[in-house]
Every structure is written in C-alpha cells, then in structure tokens.
Amino acid sequence: MKKMKLLAGILISSLILAVAGCSQVNVQDDQASNAPSTAKTTTTAADNTDTSETTEATIRLSGTLTLTGSTSMSDVSNALAESFMLENPDVTISVGGNGSGEGPTAVNDGTAQIGLLSRGLKDSENPDGFDQYIIGYDGIAVIVNSESEIKDLTLEQVAQIYKGEITNWSEVGGKDAPIHAIGREAASGTRGAFEEIVDAKDECKYTEEQNSTGSVKQSVTSNPNAIGYISLSAVDETVHAVSLNGVAPSIDTVKSGDYELQRPFLMITAKSTDDALTKAFMDYVYSAAGMQIIADDGVVPNS
C-alpha cells in the first residue's frame, strides 16, 4: 500500500513539472511573437519621420524668377515680388522691362518666366501661345503740370490734343501757351491702350516720347505747358491728374467703370508651364495677400 502511494506521488510530481514546463514555453513563444511587431512599429515611425522631412524639403521653394515688360506694372510687380521673397527666403525675383512689347518676347526666348503687359496681347504676339492672367485693372491718368489751370477735359479734347488738332491751352480754357504733348514709346502698353481708348491709334503727334512712366511724369513736372499720360498708380503730388468727362481717376471710378480711360494689367507665362516656382508665384498673386498688395498699390484687383 505504501508503494502504491509512493508511485502515485511520483506520478503527480511528474505531471506538475510537465505542465509548468509547457506554460514556460508558451510564455516565451508569446514574447518571441510580440518582438517582431514592436520592431515593425518602430521602423514605421522612423519611415514616417523621413517622409515628412522629405515632403518639407520638396515644397521648400528656391531659385530665380524674372519678370519683365511693362514699366507701368513695375511698382505692383516689385511689391508682390518682395512679399513673396519674404515668405520664401531661398527665392530671388528680379523685375525689369522697357515696355509691354518686351514681355512676350522675353517669355518666348526664355529670358523671363513671366511677362508683364499693361494691355492685351496682340494677334501678332500669338496669344494662344501663353497662359494669361489679368491681375487687375489700372486707370490711365492724363496728367498736367501742378501749376496748370486745366482741371477737366473731355475724352474728345484729349484725342484732339494728341492728334495735333488742338495745339494751344487757350482752346480748352487754359492760358495762351502751346501744348507740349508727351507720350510713351511705340512698344509701350500704356501708349497702345491710351491711343485705342481715345480713338487716336497711329494718329498721335507727340512733341516728346519717353520710355518709362517715371520719365513722362518727370517731363510733365518740369514743363508747365506739358500734358502726358501715366498709370494711375504712379500719380503723386508732383503732377495733377485731370478729370475726364467730369470723372476723376481713382480706384473707385475705375472699379465702377465710370472712368473710361482704363486697361488690364496682364501677366503671361509659357503655355502650360511645369515650372514649380512660376506656378507658386502666380498662386501667390491670386491669394488674399497678393490681391491686397495689388489693391494697396492703387490697382483694382481682379479677385
């Protein structure tokens, strides 16, 4: 009987040891199966960090952008460029030009990414070859010397002055003095728009032609008998902008359409360009910040 109890004890002890061994193996197996999962999670997190850094590097803009063409658009273009560069310190933008005619030529030959025109594209400039962006509308101010008695003219009188049909200020209510008619060079978008609107295309007889907005303003400032035309945004206290048909040039009258002597401000790029910097700049122009800059510069934004 004692032998039977002893054998039973041995058997029970063996069974306990066997069960304990199985339990230890199962725990180790579970730990082993969990380890690869933890390693995988760590790798994924690292991968995500790398992807985020790569994306940030990819969207960081850098490089050089050239805008050229209309001198009437130089102020607003420089303002947009300066603000864009502040937000993108690795970008350099240069703004220049000697008239709207230079814009399409420069974009075509690759010396500029964006052309500036203060008029629409001509048929001879192949409009279908560009993507066109009207960024706003600008009044063309007819200016006289700040000492002039002339405060208001009709659009017809302006046309007659520039056609040479009216040659003395006394004919329009001023003093007895010859009119010195100043205009822009043939390639100027301001000149093209001005002559078209006053219905004097290729008929104007200029006493003097200047190649920039600033030069026209300076000539009028220094000559009490002068008359000229410049972008509304360039008008300051050195000259007087006359009313046309009783309507003074201003942002409000340009926006309402009451001031008749106005034209579009146009930016053009190569057709369907894939240049990331050009696209980003044009997106900025049409952003709320860009439209505010345009408005602050005295141009009616095309928002």
Examine the pLDDT at 45 and tell me if it is beyond 70.
Answer: no
SS3 state of residue 209: strand
Q: What is residue 142's predicted lDDT score, i.e. its pLDDT?
A: 98
What digits encode the pLDDT tens for the residues 98-157?
899 999 999 999 999 999 999 999 999 999 999 999 999 999 999 999 999 999 999 999
Highest mean pLDDT among 14-18, 28-32, 70-74: 70-74
Q: Report the interhelical angle of 276-285 vs 288-296 (nearest 10°).
A: 60
Q: Does domain 138-262 have CATH number 3.40.190.10?
A: yes
Q: pLDDT band for position 33 (50/70/90)?
A: very low
Lowest-confidence pick of 17-31, 140-154, 254-268? 17-31
What digits encode the pLDDT tens for the residues 77-106?
999 999 999 999 999 999 998 899 999 999
Q: What is the mean pLDDT of the chain?
A: 85
Q: What is residue 101's predicted lDDT score, i.e. its pLDDT?
A: 94
Examine the pLDDT at 40 and tell me if it is beyond 70.
Answer: no
Task: Extract the tokens encoding 149.
Answer: 């008695």
Task: Domain 63-137+264-301: give its CATH code.
Answer: 3.40.190.10
Distance in angstroms (rounded) separating the CA atoms of residues 295 and 255? 11
Q: pLDDT band for position 303 (50/70/90)?
A: confident
SS3 state of residue 120: coil
Residue range 196-204: mean pLDDT, rounded = 94
Residue range 217-232: mean pLDDT, rounded = 97
What digits encode the pLDDT tens for the residues 47-63?
444 444 444 445 789 99
Q: What single letter denotes the amino acid at residue 181?
A: A
Q: What is residue 25's predicted lDDT score, i.e. its pLDDT?
A: 38
Domain(s) labelled CATH 3.40.190.10 in the chain stretch across 63-137+264-301, 138-262
Residue range 220-238: mean pLDDT, rounded = 96
Q: pLDDT band for position 187 (50/70/90)?
A: confident
Torsion over CA of 290, 295, 299 and 303, rounded to 10 degrees? 60
